[in-house]
A and B are shown apart, each in its own frame.
Chain A
C-alpha cells in the first residue's frame, strides 16, 4: 500500500466574511507531485500556508508526515521546505551567502555545511554565480536559488507556491526535471500553479475554485470524468462557424485556439460530432471536425462551470 504524506479534513480558512478556503479534503501520496490548479484568489496559497503551519485553519485539520499542523508546526518546520511565491531570500547577499545562511539556520553540522552548499550550487548550475548578489539574478536563476534553499535541509515535503510565474519556458522545463528527480528520491511535492501545461505534469492534482476543491485525480482521470465531450473543428471561416454554433443551445462553450475552435458539448449528447456537423451543415459551412481528449483547460472550464451552475440553481 502507498504511504500517505499529507491528509487534510475539512480544511477551512475564513478572513472576516470571506471564505478563502472552504472545507478542503486532501490525501497526498508520499513521493508524488501533487498540483493545485486554480486562478488567482482560488485559495491555493492559503491552503499551502495552512499545511505549512503558517496559518491556523479556522476549522478542519491537517496532518503532514504524521504531524498535526496546529500542534506540531515547529517540529514540522525541520521536515518541510517552502518556496514562497515571491523571491524571499536576501537580495543584498550573494548566492553563496544566502545558501550558507540557510544552512546555518537549519543548523546543518559545520563539517557538512560547506559541502552541502557546494553540492547545491553544482546541481542547480549556480556555481559560476556563487559570488553574485542574488538581487541581480535573472528570474530563472532566482528560482533555482530559491529551490536550492528550500531543499538544502533535505525536506521530506516540499511546498512550492507558484514557483514558475517569472520564468521562461526552457527554465520551466529544467525546473520540472529537478522536481521529478526529487520526487523519485522520495520527496513529496505540492505545487500550486495556474499554468495548465505545468499542472498536466503532476501525478495528481486538485482543481480549486473560490476556495472549493471542485475536482481531483490524475490528469487522465480528470479528463475522463468531466461531463463534456470536446470537439475540435478546423474551418476556412471560423467566425461564421462560431456564430452558427453559438445559436445551438446544447453547446456549452466555444473557444478559439489559433486556426481551430474548441467546442464543449455535455455528455448527455450521445454523438457530439454529428451534432456539430449537422448544425453547421444547416448553414452550409464546411468544417473538419474531430473529437479529442479533454485537456486541463477544458477540465478546468467544465468543472468550474458546473459548480457555478450548481450554486446558481
Chain B
C-alpha cells in the first residue's frame, strides 16, 4: 500500500514536470512527426531521376531511338550530350552525373550481330543503390521500329510482389520508424530524466527518504510507457494518412508488441542512467546504442544481407526483434503468436537490463 502511494507520487510528479517542460513535450510529438514526414518522403529505394549524360558516336536512327527509350524510362534525366567518352568520364569524376552512356560508332552493327555488348554504361559505383538501378537499364531492349520485334525470351521466374505490389518505400519505412523513434525517445527520455535528478541534487534528497529503488524506477518510467503509446498511435495514424500504410494485423497485437518493446527500451534507459553522471553522458551513451540500432537492425538494410557477425550483434538489439514483429503484424497481417520467439527475446532483454539497473542503482552516494 505504501509502495503504491510512493509509486503514484513519483508518477504524478513526473507528469507535472513533463507538462511544464515544453521542450520535452514538443519532442514527444515533434520527433515522430518530423521524422515520419522526413523519412517517409525522403527515403526512397526505388530510385528515379538520376543525372546522366551520353556520347553518341554512331548517331543513327537506332541510337537516337535507344537514347529516347532510356530517357522515357524516367530512371535517368539526360543532362547533356558530350563529344567523346573521355568527357563522359570527366563528368562522372566531377560528380555532375551518376550515369554515362557511351554509344560506339558501330552501334547498329553490334546490335544486329548480337555477338557482344552494343554500348557501354558508365556508373558511379560509390553508391550501390545506383549500381542496382544501372543494372535495370542494362536490361533495356532495343526496339527496331522498322523491323519486327526481336524474339522475346520468356523469363524463367515470374516475380510476384506480396504485401507491397506498388513497391512504395514508405510501406517498409513507416513501421520501421515506429521502432526507431521509440528507441530514440524512450531510451533518451528515461536516461535523461533520472540523470537530471542526479545533476540537480534531487536524488540526494530522494535517497534519504524511505522510497525503495524499484518504486522510484517504476514511478519514473511508467509515464513514458504512455508517451510511447502516444507516439505509436501518432506514427501509425500519420503513416496511414500520409502514406497509406495499411495495418493488416490486429491492433491488439501491435499494442502488445509495442508494450514489450517499450519496456525493453525503458529498462535500457534506466541502466544508462545508473552509469551516466551527466545528462550529456546519458545522451552520448544513448547514441552509442542508437546508431547500430538504426543501421543493423534491418530498418535500413535487409537483415539477411548482412554478414553473420553483424547479424549476431543485431540479435542483441531490441529494435531487430521489434522490426520483425511490427512489420510482420502491420504489413503481412501476421499473428503475434507465430513470432513468440521475438517477444521472448525482448522480454529477456528487459529483465536483464532492469535487473542490472536495479542492482547498480544504489541508495547510497558512494
Contacts and interface: CB of A to CB of B under 8 A. Distances in A.
Contacts of A259: none
Give the size range of B's interface with the partner: 20 to 34
Nearest to B13: A101
Contacts of B9: 101, 104-105
B6 A88 contact: no
Interface string A43-61: 0000001001111100000
Interface in A81-123: 82, 84, 86-93, 97, 101-102, 104-107
- What size tier do the contact residues of chain A reach? 20 to 34
Contacts of A52: 208
A162 to B, nearest CB: 13
A77 interface: yes
A92 B201 contact: no
Nearest to A83: B205
B68 interface: no
Contacts of A84: 201, 204-205
Contact of B365 (A49, A87, A104, A106): A49
Interface string B204-230: 111111111000000000000000000
A86 B366 CA distance: 18
Contact of A107 (B5, B200, B365): B5
A273 B244 CA distance: 99
A92 B208 contact: no
Nearest to B203: A88
A177 interface: no
Given A54-B207, A54-B364, A104-B6, A88 B200 contact: yes
B17 interface: yes
A242 B1 CA distance: 70
Nearest to B3: A107
Contact of B210 (A55, A93, A106): A106
A105 B209 contact: yes
Nearest to B7: A104
Contacts of A49: 365
B20 A92 contact: yes
A105 B202 contact: no
A56 B366 contact: yes
B46 interface: no
State the majority secondary structure of interface residues on B: helix
B362 to A, nearest CB: 10
B4 to A, nearest CB: 9
A102 B364 CA distance: 19
A92 B209 contact: no
B14 to A, nearest CB: 10
Contacts of B13: 90, 93, 97, 101
Given A101-B9, A101-B13, A56 B209 contact: no
B208 A82 contact: yes
Contact of B16 (A78, A93, A149): A93
Interface in B126-147: none
B66 to A, nearest CB: 69
Nearest to A93: B16
Contacts, number: 75
A74 interface: yes
A106 B202 contact: no
B158 interface: no
Contact of A89 (B8, B20, B205, B207): B205
B208 A54 contact: yes
Contacts of A101: 9, 12-13
Contacts of A97: 13, 16
B304 interface: no
Interface in A53-76: 53-56, 73-74
B104 to A, nearest CB: 73
B114 interface: no
The interface centre, meaning the residue of A56, A88, A97, A102 with most chain B CB atoms within 10 A of its CB, is A88
B109 interface: no
Interface in B335-366: 363-366
B209 A77 contact: yes
B6 A55 contact: no
B21 interface: yes
B2 interface: yes
Contact of A86 (B201, B210, B365): B201
B210 A88 contact: no
A100 B20 CA distance: 17
A53 B10 CA distance: 23
Given A49-B365, A93-B13, A88 B20 contact: no
Contact of A82 (B21, B202, B205): B205
Given A90-B17, A93-B17, A105 B207 contact: no
B246 to A, nearest CB: 42
Nearest to B216: A105
Given A55-B366, A88-B202, A107-B6, A77 B208 contact: yes
A53 B364 contact: yes
A78 B209 CA distance: 7
Contacts of A149: 205
A48 to B, nearest CB: 11
Sorted nearest first, the 6 A-B pairs with minimum C-beta distance are: A104-B9, A88-B205, A107-B2, A88-B201, A82-B208, A86-B201
Given A73-B364, A88-B204, A93-B16, 11 more contacts: A54-B365, A55-B365, A73-B363, A77-B210, A78-B210, A86-B204, A93-B13, A97-B16, A101-B12, A104-B6, A105-B6
Interface of B: 1-2, 5-6, 8-10, 12-13, 16-17, 20-21, 200-202, 204-212, 363-366
